[in-house]
Amino acid sequence: MFRKTTARLLVITLRPQCRGLSSHVQRLAYNADRPTKLQEQLLQHPSPVPLVVTGAMDNWQARNWTRSDLMQYGDTIVPVESSRNGGDYRDLHTASSTRSFEADLEVPLSAVLQSMQDTDTRQQPAQSLLYAAQVDLISLIPALEEGIEQPPLQVINDRLYKRNTWLGPAGTITPLHCDPYFNLFCQIWGSKYIRIYDRKHAQRLHPFSNPFLRNTSQVRVEKVDSKMFPSFDQVPYLECHLMPGEMLFMPKKFWHFVQALEPSWSVSYWWT
Ligand SMILES: O=C(O)CCC(=O)C(=O)O
């Protein structure tokens, strides 16, 4: 696989982990009168850089939908990742494999929506996090298309590789990894903390040598082991809190770490 509280609480716990050279991803306001300009702005540079685009999702009806609205599709079976105690997909491929992470489970969408509710109200903090990650939910539930607009980039029409949705509770973590695609990552509900490293720093991020995990870092960004990775905090990075209604453009092979700060729904478009 090419992968994977409230806002303030997590921001405080994340920041002290890494005192490296960090900057914020620059923000760009979308001009609805000149939609074709966006593609130029994102891709015109010989070396494109990450950018947050604001104002390009104002017409997405899905932003106004609630979890109860999605419950009408609650019987739809969706693949999920299930994690507890900070487990993630690396556990499937490493010797320290624990039962704190399971992939390829299938559950009704209602269970995911319920898990979002539980973590939101913190009624059952010990429960597993159910994350419908990297799923094309829109193909499973075509009615969702009504609330999700195709982003105004011709290149997505011409060279789309995969559309993914990411639906889950606060606290889901996608470990630091890179994908061989451009990515327009659109935030519908909730906010996410995203940290990005330039592809040129790949070797300083300690990728696994295991062929299944070569695109994934051994470093747990949320809890860096500074004895094992003493120079990790010297690697410069960009970061943002992606808010509902914002899109994040990421160039190919840029490394990224993603943590949901609130119950969250995102849609991403990967192209080659
Ligand atoms: O939102 C996430 O948890 C991960 C998203 C991601 O890694 C991607 O879009 O490539």
Is the CB–ligand 1 distance for residue 67 below 6 Å?
A: no
Q: What is the pLDDT of residues 176-205, one digit of tens each?
A: 999 999 999 999 999 999 999 999 999 999
d(CA 227, CA 66): 44
3-state secondary structure of 4: coil
Task: Report how far residue 209's alpha carbon sits from residue 88's, in angstroms, rounded to the nearest whole number.
Answer: 18
Q: How many helices (H) and strands (E) does the chain have?
A: 6, 14
CATH architecture of 37-271: Sandwich (2.60)
Q: Exposed (0-12), middle (13-18) or buried (19+): which is 171, by Cβ within 10 Å?
A: buried
Give the pLDDT confidence score for residue 98 in this predicted structure.
61
| pLDDT given for residue 85 in this prediction | 79
CA distance 234 to 147: 42
**Strand-by-strand arrangement of the 77-83 sheet:** 27-29, 51-54, 246-250, 182-189, 264-271, 160-168, 129-135, 77-83, 101-108
User: Is 195 near ligand 1, meaning CB less than 6 Å away?
Assistant: no
Distance 174 CA to ligand 1 centre (A): 6
Q: Is 258 in the pocket of ligand 1 (CB under 6 A)?
A: yes
Please report, for the chain, the start and end positions of each structural domain, with discontinuous segments joined by +.
37-271
pLDDT at 96: 60
Nearest-atom index, ligand 1, CA of 164 = 9
Q: With residue 121 as reference, give the H or E element that holds it.
A: helix 109-121
Ligand 1 centroid – CA 175 distance (Å): 9
How many A from CA of 110 to the centre of ligand 1? 22
Rounded CA separation 115/112 (Å): 5
Distance CA(229)–CA(207), nearest Å, equals 12
- The predicted pLDDT at position 119 comes to 66
Closest residue by CA, ligand 1 atom 7: 4
- For 128-173, the pLDDT digits (tens) are 899 999 999 999 999 999 999 999 999 999 999 999 999 999 999 9
Q: Tell me if 179 CB under 6 Å of ligand 1.
A: yes
Q: What is the pLDDT along the chain (272 residues), one digit of tens a residue?
A: 455 433 333 433 444 344 558 999 999 999 999 999 999 999 988 899 999 999 999 999 999 999 999 999 999 999 999 998 778 888 777 766 566 888 889 999 999 999 998 766 555 555 689 999 999 999 999 999 999 999 999 999 999 999 999 999 999 999 999 999 999 999 999 999 999 999 999 999 999 999 989 999 999 999 999 999 999 999 999 999 999 999 999 999 999 999 999 999 999 999 99
Smallest Cα–Cα separation from 194: which of 213, 172, 164, 215? Answer: 172
Token pair of 119 as six digits: 């973590």
Look at ligand 1, atom 9, and give the residue with the nearest C-alpha: 268
pLDDT at position 8 is 35
pTM across the whole model: 0.90
Ligand 1 centroid to 125 CA: how many Å? Answer: 23
Pick from 229, 202, 197: which is nearest to 17 by CA? Answer: 229
Strands (E), the chain: 22-24, 27-29, 51-54, 77-83, 101-108, 129-135, 160-168, 173-177, 182-189, 192-197, 237-242, 246-250, 255-260, 264-271
- Regarding the beta carbon of 220 and ligand 1, being less than 6 Å apart is answered no
